Amino acid sequence: MIAYRGLYLINKEGIVMHQLVNFFPLGRDVDEALRMVDTLQYFEENGDVCTANWHKGDEA
């Protein structure tokens, strides 16, 4: 057996906003995971939709 690796970002209301599951041989991108956390936090604080490749400090 091989474990899958998963990342789930859940908002304050308990709704899954982002999910990513990787099979064992596929690598993960920690910077992208942190960017998604920043994006979710920005959305929760401002209500603005973040564009593709948005990074903290960018205009939404």
Q: Over its length of 60 residues, how does the chain's per-residue pLDDT go in tens digits?
A: 888 899 999 999 999 999 999 988 888 899 999 999 999 999 999 999 999 999 999 988
Which sequence spans correspond to the domains of the chain? 5-46
Residue 55: CA count within 13 A, CB half-sphere: 2
pTM for the structure as a whole: 0.82
Distances (CA, A) of 37 to 17, 26, 56: 10, 21, 10
Residue 51 and residue 15: Cα distance in Å, rounded? 20
Q: By the 8 A CB rule, do 22 and 28 touch?
A: yes
